[in-house]
Amino acid sequence: MTIETFGLVLAGGLARRMGGGDKVVIRVGGKTILERTLARLRPQCRRLILNANGDAGRFADSGLAVVADSVPDYPGPLAGILAGLDWAAKHEIDWVASVPGDCPFLPRDLVARLHAARAEAGARLACAGSGARRHPVIALWPASLRADLRHALTAEGLRKVEEWASRYAPAVAEWPAEPVDPFFNVNTPEDAAAAERMAARHPDI
């Protein structure tokens, strides 16, 4: 049975290492990272939403609902996750799968495997792993934790996703990092060039 899950694309950062702008519009293999992300996540989720700040109209072509941070001063991806959890709770959906807006090679079985890892471990959360690394932003979150997260952000000043997630002993779903790490992320112009080479060598990924 498929568990109803909202997909959340996190695009609320400032992209300083890229010189500013929206990383989701970087092109890899002839498509923007956002287009690639939507193609992978749409079949896995009931609905997709985008966390972004500023003028939401710049994403009008995506057809996605755009939710901004509810915590001021760009505190990082935890604020985007909170926005996604609030949106899910408003629409009576229990689960949110979050991904960053800079990963062009996301797995097509991401959500199902996160749910399976969580259920097998009896955990409240699950995150992705590859190449002996955890990826705490690529994760499955219950909307029931939104009050805890809001308190951590506003009362405790917490900013690191991994630090907050570790409070709940998340399960980890592992993927191989070869021939292409599915969680390779584009942070710099050099990363964008590397992603383009990967897409050319492995067009099926």
Q: 5-201: which CATH number, 3.40.47.10, 3.10.110.10, 3.40.50.150, 3.90.550.10?
A: 3.90.550.10
155's CB contacts (< 8 A; 6+ apart) are none
Selection from 46, 36, 58 nearest residue 8 by Cα: 46
User: Taking the C-alpha atoms of 22, 23, 28 and 34 in order, what is their torsion angle to the nearest 10 degrees?
Assistant: -70
pLDDT of residue 90: 95
State whether the Cα torsion 155-158-162-163 is positive or negative.
negative
pLDDT of residue 1: 52
pLDDT of residue 21: 65
CA gap 108, 45 in Å, rounded: 11
143: DSSP letter: G
pLDDT of residue 74: 82
E strand or H helix at 154: helix 146-154
pLDDT of residue 73: 83
Selection from 36, 40, 84, 35 nearest residue 61 by Cα: 35
> pLDDT 10s digit of each residue in the chain, 205 long?
578 999 999 997 554 444 456 889 999 999 999 999 999 999 999 999 999 998 999 999 999 999 999 888 888 999 999 999 999 999 999 999 999 999 999 999 999 999 999 999 999 999 999 999 999 999 999 999 999 999 999 999 999 999 999 999 999 999 999 999 999 999 999 999 999 999 999 998 8
CA 161-134-46 angle, 5° bins: 70
pLDDT of residue 22: 85
Q: What is the pTM of this model?
A: 0.93
Helices 77-90 and 146-154, packing angle to 10 deg: 150
pLDDT of residue 191: 95
